[in-house]
Amino acid sequence: MRIAVFAGDGIGPEVTEQAVRVLEKLGLEALDLVEGDVGGAAYRKHGHPLPAETLDIARSADAILFGAVGDFSLDHLDRHLRPEQAVLGLRKELGLFANLRPARVFKGLEDLTTLRPEVASQIDLLIVRELNGDVYFGEKGTRTLPDGRRQGWDMMSYAEDEVRRIAHTGFTAAMGRSKKLCSVDKANVLETSQLWRDVVIEVSKEYPEVELSHMYVDNAAMQLVKNPGQFDVIVTGNLFGDILSDQASMCVGSIGLLASASLAEGTYGLYEPIHGSAPDIAGKNLANPMATILSAAMLLRHSFGLEEQAVRIENAVAAALAAGVKGGDLGGSAGTREIGGAVVERL
Ligand SMILES: NC(=O)C1=CN([C@@H]2O[C@H](COP(=O)(O)OP(=O)(O)OC[C@H]3O[C@@H](n4cnc5c(N)ncnc54)[C@H](O)[C@@H]3O)[C@@H](O)[C@H]2O)C=CC1
Ligand SMILES: CC(C)CC(=O)C(=O)O
Ligand SMILES: [Mg+2]
Protein backbone atom coordinates (compact mmCIF):
# COMPACT_ATOMS: atom_id res chain seq x y z
CA MET A 1 0.00 0.00 0.00
CA ARG A 2 1.63 3.15 -1.28
CA ILE A 3 0.55 6.35 0.45
CA ALA A 4 1.74 9.77 -0.68
CA VAL A 5 2.29 12.08 2.30
CA PHE A 6 2.02 15.77 1.43
CA ALA A 7 2.48 17.75 4.65
CA GLY A 8 2.45 21.28 3.19
CA ASP A 9 2.60 24.51 5.19
CA GLY A 10 2.02 25.91 8.66
CA ILE A 11 0.69 23.24 11.00
CA GLY A 12 0.49 20.78 8.06
CA PRO A 13 3.82 19.04 8.87
CA GLU A 14 3.07 18.91 12.62
CA VAL A 15 -0.33 17.27 12.29
CA THR A 16 0.73 14.96 9.46
CA GLU A 17 3.66 13.68 11.54
CA GLN A 18 1.21 12.50 14.20
CA ALA A 19 -1.05 10.78 11.66
CA VAL A 20 1.98 8.98 10.23
CA ARG A 21 2.95 7.81 13.74
CA VAL A 22 -0.52 6.31 14.05
CA LEU A 23 -0.35 4.57 10.66
CA GLU A 24 3.10 3.17 11.46
CA LYS A 25 1.95 1.87 14.85
CA LEU A 26 -0.80 -0.19 13.24
CA GLY A 27 1.78 -2.56 11.76
CA LEU A 28 0.14 -2.53 8.34
CA GLU A 29 1.54 -4.91 5.80
CA ALA A 30 3.72 -3.38 3.04
CA LEU A 31 3.11 0.19 4.17
CA ASP A 32 5.04 2.43 1.79
CA LEU A 33 4.96 6.13 2.64
CA VAL A 34 6.40 8.54 0.10
CA GLU A 35 6.70 12.26 0.80
CA GLY A 36 6.18 15.11 -1.65
CA ASP A 37 6.28 18.91 -1.59
CA VAL A 38 3.09 20.97 -1.86
CA GLY A 39 1.95 24.52 -1.23
CA GLY A 40 4.18 27.36 -0.14
CA ALA A 41 6.91 24.90 0.83
CA ALA A 42 6.91 23.54 -2.72
CA TYR A 43 6.86 27.03 -4.22
CA ARG A 44 9.95 28.01 -2.24
CA LYS A 45 11.80 24.84 -3.29
CA HIS A 46 10.59 24.32 -6.87
CA GLY A 47 8.93 27.61 -7.89
CA HIS A 48 5.49 25.98 -8.08
CA PRO A 49 2.93 24.96 -5.40
CA LEU A 50 2.21 21.67 -7.18
CA PRO A 51 5.40 20.59 -8.97
CA ALA A 52 5.31 17.86 -11.63
CA GLU A 53 7.34 15.57 -9.29
CA THR A 54 4.59 15.83 -6.68
CA LEU A 55 1.86 15.03 -9.17
CA ASP A 56 3.89 12.00 -10.29
CA ILE A 57 4.14 10.81 -6.68
CA ALA A 58 0.38 11.31 -6.29
CA ARG A 59 -0.32 9.28 -9.42
CA SER A 60 2.02 6.48 -8.36
CA ALA A 61 0.28 6.14 -4.98
CA ASP A 62 -2.95 4.41 -3.94
CA ALA A 63 -3.98 7.33 -1.73
CA ILE A 64 -2.76 10.67 -0.42
CA LEU A 65 -2.50 11.85 3.17
CA PHE A 66 -2.53 15.65 3.04
CA GLY A 67 -1.77 18.22 5.76
CA ALA A 68 -2.63 21.76 4.74
CA VAL A 69 -1.39 24.51 2.45
CA GLY A 70 -1.44 28.26 2.79
CA ASP A 71 1.13 30.91 3.59
CA PHE A 72 0.00 34.50 3.99
CA SER A 73 3.46 35.77 2.99
CA LEU A 74 2.87 34.35 -0.51
CA ASP A 75 -0.59 35.86 -1.00
CA HIS A 76 0.88 38.54 -3.30
CA LEU A 77 1.75 35.91 -5.94
CA ASP A 78 -0.26 35.42 -9.11
CA ARG A 79 -3.14 33.15 -8.21
CA HIS A 80 -1.80 30.13 -10.11
CA LEU A 81 1.33 30.20 -7.93
CA ARG A 82 -0.40 30.59 -4.58
CA PRO A 83 -0.08 27.68 -2.10
CA GLU A 84 -3.80 26.82 -2.19
CA GLN A 85 -3.43 25.88 -5.85
CA ALA A 86 -1.73 22.70 -4.69
CA VAL A 87 -4.84 21.25 -3.13
CA LEU A 88 -7.13 22.71 -5.80
CA GLY A 89 -4.83 21.29 -8.49
CA LEU A 90 -4.74 17.82 -6.93
CA ARG A 91 -8.52 17.79 -6.62
CA LYS A 92 -8.94 18.71 -10.27
CA GLU A 93 -6.06 16.73 -11.81
CA LEU A 94 -6.97 13.56 -9.96
CA GLY A 95 -10.74 13.86 -10.43
CA LEU A 96 -11.38 14.03 -6.68
CA PHE A 97 -14.96 15.21 -7.00
CA ALA A 98 -16.60 13.88 -3.84
CA ASN A 99 -15.62 15.42 -0.54
CA LEU A 100 -16.98 13.62 2.53
CA ARG A 101 -16.87 15.60 5.77
CA PRO A 102 -18.41 13.74 8.72
CA ALA A 103 -19.25 15.59 11.95
CA ARG A 104 -20.34 13.96 15.17
CA VAL A 105 -19.94 14.78 18.82
CA PHE A 106 -17.50 12.63 20.72
CA LYS A 107 -18.66 11.42 24.12
CA GLY A 108 -17.51 13.80 26.80
CA LEU A 109 -17.23 16.79 24.50
CA GLU A 110 -20.91 17.79 24.64
CA ASP A 111 -20.08 20.60 27.06
CA LEU A 112 -17.18 21.89 24.98
CA THR A 113 -19.00 22.88 21.81
CA THR A 114 -20.36 26.35 21.29
CA LEU A 115 -23.88 24.87 21.27
CA ARG A 116 -25.90 23.79 24.29
CA PRO A 117 -24.96 20.16 25.18
CA GLU A 118 -28.45 18.80 24.52
CA VAL A 119 -28.34 20.34 21.01
CA ALA A 120 -24.77 19.33 20.21
CA SER A 121 -25.19 15.75 21.41
CA GLN A 122 -27.67 15.14 18.58
CA ILE A 123 -25.08 15.75 15.85
CA ASP A 124 -24.13 12.85 13.61
CA LEU A 125 -24.08 14.18 10.08
CA LEU A 126 -22.16 13.88 6.87
CA ILE A 127 -21.55 16.75 4.48
CA VAL A 128 -21.09 15.57 0.90
CA ARG A 129 -19.47 18.47 -0.92
CA GLU A 130 -18.89 18.61 -4.68
CA LEU A 131 -15.20 19.35 -5.17
CA ASN A 132 -14.42 19.77 -8.86
CA GLY A 133 -16.75 22.55 -9.98
CA ASP A 134 -18.66 25.64 -8.88
CA VAL A 135 -17.24 29.13 -8.52
CA TYR A 136 -13.88 27.71 -7.33
CA PHE A 137 -13.05 26.43 -10.80
CA GLY A 138 -14.89 28.90 -13.02
CA GLU A 139 -13.22 31.56 -15.09
CA LYS A 140 -12.23 34.54 -12.99
CA GLY A 141 -10.44 37.81 -13.28
CA THR A 142 -10.32 41.48 -12.51
CA ARG A 143 -11.20 44.18 -15.01
CA THR A 144 -11.68 47.90 -15.16
CA LEU A 145 -15.17 49.12 -15.92
CA PRO A 146 -15.76 51.92 -18.43
CA ASP A 147 -16.20 54.37 -15.54
CA GLY A 148 -12.78 53.42 -14.18
CA ARG A 149 -13.88 51.26 -11.25
CA ARG A 150 -12.02 47.95 -10.75
CA GLN A 151 -14.20 44.85 -10.72
CA GLY A 152 -13.39 41.30 -9.64
CA TRP A 153 -15.44 38.48 -11.12
CA ASP A 154 -15.73 34.70 -10.71
CA MET A 155 -17.98 32.50 -12.79
CA MET A 156 -20.25 30.08 -10.93
CA SER A 157 -21.59 27.13 -12.91
CA TYR A 158 -22.49 23.45 -12.64
CA ALA A 159 -23.10 21.14 -15.59
CA GLU A 160 -25.81 18.53 -15.08
CA ASP A 161 -23.40 15.57 -15.15
CA GLU A 162 -21.35 17.16 -12.36
CA VAL A 163 -24.47 17.51 -10.22
CA ARG A 164 -25.68 14.03 -11.10
CA ARG A 165 -22.52 12.24 -9.97
CA ILE A 166 -22.32 14.04 -6.62
CA ALA A 167 -26.05 13.50 -6.12
CA HIS A 168 -25.44 9.76 -6.55
CA THR A 169 -22.68 10.00 -3.92
CA GLY A 170 -25.09 11.77 -1.57
CA PHE A 171 -27.92 9.26 -2.08
CA THR A 172 -25.57 6.29 -1.75
CA ALA A 173 -24.18 7.72 1.49
CA ALA A 174 -27.71 8.28 2.79
CA MET A 175 -28.64 4.67 1.94
CA GLY A 176 -25.81 3.53 4.23
CA ARG A 177 -26.96 5.81 7.05
CA SER A 178 -30.39 7.05 8.12
CA LYS A 179 -31.77 7.44 4.58
CA LYS A 180 -32.26 11.19 4.82
CA LEU A 181 -30.68 13.54 2.31
CA CYS A 182 -30.88 17.32 2.46
CA SER A 183 -29.73 19.12 -0.68
CA VAL A 184 -28.50 22.62 0.12
CA ASP A 185 -28.60 25.30 -2.56
CA LYS A 186 -29.62 28.87 -3.26
CA ALA A 187 -32.19 28.10 -5.96
CA ASN A 188 -34.29 31.14 -5.04
CA VAL A 189 -31.56 33.37 -6.50
CA LEU A 190 -29.03 31.38 -8.56
CA GLU A 191 -29.59 29.59 -11.89
CA THR A 192 -26.69 27.28 -10.99
CA SER A 193 -28.66 26.21 -7.91
CA GLN A 194 -31.94 25.79 -9.81
CA LEU A 195 -30.28 23.33 -12.16
CA TRP A 196 -28.65 21.66 -9.13
CA ARG A 197 -32.06 21.20 -7.50
CA ASP A 198 -33.72 19.93 -10.69
CA VAL A 199 -31.00 17.33 -11.25
CA VAL A 200 -31.02 16.18 -7.60
CA ILE A 201 -34.78 15.62 -7.92
CA GLU A 202 -34.24 13.60 -11.12
CA VAL A 203 -31.62 11.42 -9.44
CA SER A 204 -33.86 10.92 -6.39
CA LYS A 205 -36.18 8.72 -8.51
CA GLU A 206 -33.46 6.05 -8.37
CA TYR A 207 -33.45 6.12 -4.56
CA PRO A 208 -37.10 5.82 -3.50
CA GLU A 209 -36.11 4.81 0.03
CA VAL A 210 -34.25 8.05 0.69
CA GLU A 211 -36.23 10.95 2.08
CA LEU A 212 -35.05 13.99 0.08
CA SER A 213 -35.43 17.56 1.28
CA HIS A 214 -34.13 20.87 -0.02
CA MET A 215 -32.89 23.83 1.96
CA TYR A 216 -31.52 27.22 1.03
CA VAL A 217 -27.96 27.67 2.24
CA ASP A 218 -28.71 30.66 4.45
CA ASN A 219 -31.38 28.67 6.29
CA ALA A 220 -29.04 25.65 6.44
CA ALA A 221 -26.41 27.76 8.21
CA MET A 222 -29.04 28.76 10.75
CA GLN A 223 -30.49 25.25 11.15
CA LEU A 224 -27.00 23.81 11.75
CA VAL A 225 -26.87 25.86 14.92
CA LYS A 226 -30.55 25.69 15.86
CA ASN A 227 -31.24 22.02 15.34
CA PRO A 228 -28.29 20.15 13.80
CA GLY A 229 -29.77 16.80 14.85
CA GLN A 230 -32.25 17.07 11.96
CA PHE A 231 -29.47 16.40 9.43
CA ASP A 232 -28.26 13.00 8.29
CA VAL A 233 -26.53 13.61 4.94
CA ILE A 234 -26.19 17.06 3.38
CA VAL A 235 -25.26 17.25 -0.29
CA THR A 236 -24.12 20.60 -1.61
CA GLY A 237 -21.81 22.48 -3.94
CA ASN A 238 -18.17 23.36 -3.50
CA LEU A 239 -18.55 26.83 -1.97
CA PHE A 240 -21.51 26.14 0.31
CA GLY A 241 -19.95 22.86 1.49
CA ASP A 242 -16.68 24.57 2.33
CA ILE A 243 -18.42 27.12 4.52
CA LEU A 244 -20.97 24.82 6.16
CA SER A 245 -18.33 22.26 7.11
CA ASP A 246 -16.23 24.80 9.01
CA GLN A 247 -19.43 25.78 10.79
CA ALA A 248 -20.29 22.15 11.54
CA SER A 249 -16.83 21.69 13.08
CA MET A 250 -17.54 24.25 15.78
CA CYS A 251 -20.91 22.65 16.43
CA VAL A 252 -19.04 19.51 17.51
CA GLY A 253 -16.24 21.25 19.37
CA SER A 254 -13.34 22.24 17.14
CA ILE A 255 -12.09 22.48 13.59
CA GLY A 256 -9.20 20.36 14.87
CA LEU A 257 -11.55 17.36 14.96
CA LEU A 258 -13.02 17.31 11.45
CA ALA A 259 -11.54 14.88 8.94
CA SER A 260 -12.29 14.57 5.26
CA ALA A 261 -12.01 12.27 2.27
CA SER A 262 -11.81 13.62 -1.27
CA LEU A 263 -12.70 10.73 -3.52
CA ALA A 264 -12.38 9.95 -7.20
CA GLU A 265 -14.35 7.22 -8.96
CA GLY A 266 -13.06 3.93 -7.53
CA THR A 267 -10.90 3.70 -4.43
CA TYR A 268 -8.42 6.51 -4.99
CA GLY A 269 -8.64 9.41 -2.56
CA LEU A 270 -6.94 12.32 -0.85
CA TYR A 271 -7.45 12.56 2.91
CA GLU A 272 -7.01 15.78 4.83
CA PRO A 273 -8.27 17.67 7.87
CA ILE A 274 -10.83 20.29 6.87
CA HIS A 275 -8.76 23.05 8.44
CA GLY A 276 -6.03 25.10 6.82
CA SER A 277 -2.41 25.79 7.68
CA ALA A 278 -3.30 27.86 10.79
CA PRO A 279 -0.28 30.19 10.60
CA ASP A 280 -1.29 31.74 13.93
CA ILE A 281 -0.34 28.57 15.84
CA ALA A 282 2.17 26.96 13.45
CA GLY A 283 5.44 25.63 14.83
CA LYS A 284 4.30 25.91 18.45
CA ASN A 285 3.10 22.34 19.13
CA LEU A 286 -0.38 23.80 19.62
CA ALA A 287 -2.31 22.22 16.74
CA ASN A 288 -4.77 19.45 17.35
CA PRO A 289 -3.72 16.55 15.08
CA MET A 290 -6.92 14.55 15.63
CA ALA A 291 -8.56 15.75 12.39
CA THR A 292 -5.56 14.47 10.42
CA ILE A 293 -5.41 11.24 12.42
CA LEU A 294 -9.12 10.70 11.71
CA SER A 295 -8.43 11.45 8.03
CA ALA A 296 -5.91 8.60 8.08
CA ALA A 297 -8.72 6.37 9.39
CA MET A 298 -10.90 7.45 6.45
CA LEU A 299 -7.99 6.64 4.13
CA LEU A 300 -7.74 3.08 5.43
CA ARG A 301 -11.52 2.64 5.14
CA HIS A 302 -12.16 4.14 1.70
CA SER A 303 -8.98 3.44 -0.24
CA PHE A 304 -7.99 0.09 1.29
CA GLY A 305 -11.18 -1.37 2.73
CA LEU A 306 -9.47 -1.71 6.15
CA GLU A 307 -12.59 -1.06 8.22
CA GLU A 308 -11.22 -2.74 11.34
CA GLN A 309 -8.06 -0.63 11.37
CA ALA A 310 -10.07 2.52 10.67
CA VAL A 311 -12.32 1.82 13.64
CA ARG A 312 -9.24 1.13 15.79
CA ILE A 313 -8.00 4.65 15.06
CA GLU A 314 -11.40 6.23 15.63
CA ASN A 315 -11.83 4.41 18.93
CA ALA A 316 -8.34 5.46 20.05
CA VAL A 317 -9.16 9.12 19.32
CA ALA A 318 -12.47 8.80 21.17
CA ALA A 319 -10.70 7.13 24.13
CA ALA A 320 -8.03 9.85 24.29
CA LEU A 321 -10.71 12.54 24.32
CA ALA A 322 -12.75 10.67 26.94
CA ALA A 323 -9.60 10.47 29.08
CA GLY A 324 -9.34 14.26 28.93
CA VAL A 325 -6.54 14.59 26.37
CA LYS A 326 -7.48 17.93 24.83
CA GLY A 327 -5.58 20.55 22.94
CA GLY A 328 -5.97 24.29 23.39
CA ASP A 329 -8.72 24.30 20.75
CA LEU A 330 -10.85 22.30 23.22
CA GLY A 331 -9.81 24.29 26.28
CA GLY A 332 -7.12 21.79 27.30
CA SER A 333 -3.35 21.99 27.43
CA ALA A 334 -2.16 18.91 25.52
CA GLY A 335 0.32 19.65 22.75
CA THR A 336 0.32 18.25 19.22
CA ARG A 337 2.89 15.54 19.97
CA GLU A 338 1.27 14.63 23.27
CA ILE A 339 -2.12 14.19 21.59
CA GLY A 340 -0.53 12.03 18.89
CA GLY A 341 1.16 9.94 21.58
CA ALA A 342 -2.08 9.56 23.52
CA VAL A 343 -3.83 8.20 20.43
CA VAL A 344 -0.93 5.85 19.61
CA GLU A 345 -1.02 4.48 23.18
CA ARG A 346 -4.71 3.66 22.87
CA LEU A 347 -4.62 1.89 19.49
N1 LIG B 1 -7.11 22.44 2.53
C2 LIG B 1 -6.27 23.40 2.83
O3 LIG B 1 -5.07 23.22 2.73
C4 LIG B 1 -6.79 24.70 3.35
C5 LIG B 1 -5.95 25.77 3.38
N6 LIG B 1 -6.37 26.96 3.92
C7 LIG B 1 -5.36 28.04 4.01
O8 LIG B 1 -4.86 28.06 5.35
C9 LIG B 1 -4.44 29.39 5.68
C10 LIG B 1 -5.09 29.84 6.98
O11 LIG B 1 -6.48 29.99 6.77
P12 LIG B 1 -7.54 30.29 7.91
O13 LIG B 1 -8.69 30.94 7.27
O14 LIG B 1 -6.87 30.94 9.05
O15 LIG B 1 -8.09 28.84 8.35
P16 LIG B 1 -7.45 27.73 9.29
O17 LIG B 1 -8.36 26.56 9.23
O18 LIG B 1 -6.03 27.48 8.95
O19 LIG B 1 -7.50 28.37 10.77
C20 LIG B 1 -8.69 28.93 11.29
C21 LIG B 1 -8.58 28.99 12.82
O22 LIG B 1 -8.67 27.66 13.34
C23 LIG B 1 -7.53 27.32 14.08
N24 LIG B 1 -7.15 25.94 13.77
C25 LIG B 1 -7.13 25.38 12.54
N26 LIG B 1 -6.73 24.11 12.61
C27 LIG B 1 -6.49 23.84 13.90
C28 LIG B 1 -6.02 22.69 14.61
N29 LIG B 1 -5.73 21.54 14.00
N30 LIG B 1 -5.87 22.79 15.95
C31 LIG B 1 -6.17 23.93 16.60
N32 LIG B 1 -6.62 25.05 15.99
C33 LIG B 1 -6.75 25.01 14.65
C34 LIG B 1 -6.43 28.31 13.64
O35 LIG B 1 -5.46 28.49 14.64
C36 LIG B 1 -7.25 29.55 13.32
O37 LIG B 1 -7.46 30.31 14.47
C38 LIG B 1 -4.82 30.25 4.49
O39 LIG B 1 -3.67 30.45 3.70
C40 LIG B 1 -5.87 29.43 3.75
O41 LIG B 1 -5.96 29.72 2.40
C42 LIG B 1 -7.61 27.10 4.48
C43 LIG B 1 -8.48 26.04 4.45
C44 LIG B 1 -8.16 24.78 3.84
C1 LIG C 1 -8.55 25.56 -1.39
C2 LIG C 1 -8.93 25.55 0.04
C3 LIG C 1 -8.28 26.72 0.72
C4 LIG C 1 -10.42 25.53 0.18
C5 LIG C 1 -10.92 25.16 1.54
O6 LIG C 1 -11.02 25.97 2.43
C7 LIG C 1 -11.33 23.79 1.80
O8 LIG C 1 -11.29 22.95 0.92
O9 LIG C 1 -11.74 23.51 2.93
MG1 LIG D 1 -12.36 25.26 3.97
- Cβ of residue 71 lying under 6 Å from some atom of ligand 2: no
- Cα separation, 250 vs 263, in Å, equals 24
Q: Is residue 107 part of a domain?
A: no
Task: Identify whether residues 217 and 149 lie together within a single domain.
Answer: yes
Predicted pLDDT at 112: 87
Q: Mean pLDDT, to the nearest integer, of 71-97?
A: 98
ipTM: 0.99
Q: Determine which helix (DSSP H) or strand (DSSP E) holds 321, and give its type and residue range.
A: helix 307-322
For residues 265-286, one letter each, b for 16 or more C-beta atoms within 10 angstroms of the residue's C-beta and e for the rest, the string is: eeebbbbbbbbbbbbebbeeeb
Residue 159 lies in a domain: yes
Q: Ligand 1, from 270, 275, 293, 339: best to mutate by most atoms within 8 Å of Cβ?
A: 275
Q: How many domains, the chain?
A: 2
Residues 149 and 186 in one domain: yes
Q: Give the pLDDT of residue 147.
A: 98
Q: Report the CATH number that the domain containing residue 47 is assigned in CATH.
A: 3.40.718.10
Q: Answer yes or no: is pLDDT of 78 > 90.
A: yes
More confident residue, 273 or 114: 273
Is 154 known to be catalytic?
A: no
Residues, the chain: 347
Tell me: do 321 and 271 sit in the same domain: yes
Residue 49 shares a structural domain with residue 152? no
What is the Å distance from ligand 3's center to 145 Cα?
A: 31
71 is catalytic: no
Rounded distance between C-alpha atoms, residue 135 and residue 158, angstroms: 9
**Does 242 score more than 90 pLDDT?**
yes
**Which ligand has the minimum distance to the alpha carbon of residue 247?**
3
Catalytic site includes residue 32 = no
pLDDT at 210 over 90: yes
Asked if residue 96 is part of any domain, the answer here is: yes
Distance CA 286, CA 272 (A): 18
Claim to verify: residue 234 and residue 124 sit in the same structural domain: yes
Same domain, 247 and 143: yes
Same domain, 62 and 93: yes
Last residue of a domain, one of 252, 274, 291: 252
The answer on whether 279 is annotated among ligand-binding residues is yes
Ligand lying nearest the CA atom of residue 96? 2
Does one domain contain both 45 and 172?
no
pLDDT at 347: 97
**What's the pLDDT at 108?**
86
The answer to whether position 108 is within a domain reads no
Q: Is 186 a catalytic residue?
A: yes
Domain match, 161 and 42 both: no
User: Final residue of a domain: which of 252, 276, 296?
Assistant: 252
Q: Whose CA is nearest to atom 27 of ligand 1?
A: 256
User: Which of ligand 2's atoms lies nearest the C-alpha of 242?
Assistant: 9
Q: How far apart are CA 278 and CA 291, in angstroms?
A: 13
To the question of whether residue 229 is assigned a binding role by annotation, the answer is no
134 C-beta closer than 6 A to ligand 2: no
37: annotated active-site residue: no
DSSP state for residue 96 in the 8-state scheme: -
The verdict on whether residue 295 carries a ligand-binding annotation is no
Catalytic annotation, pick one of 25, 179, 216, 246: 246
Last residue of a domain, one of 227, 252, 277: 252
Q: Is residue 46 part of a domain?
A: yes
Cα dihedral 340→315→236→212 (10° resolution): -170
Please tell me the residue having the least CA distance from ligand 2 atom 6. 242
Q: Mean pLDDT for the chain?
A: 97
Same-domain pairing of 247 and 118? yes
pLDDT tens sequence across 99-115: 999 999 998 889 889 99
* Domain coverage including residue 171: 113-252
Please tell me whether residues 162 and 141 are part of one structural domain. Answer: yes
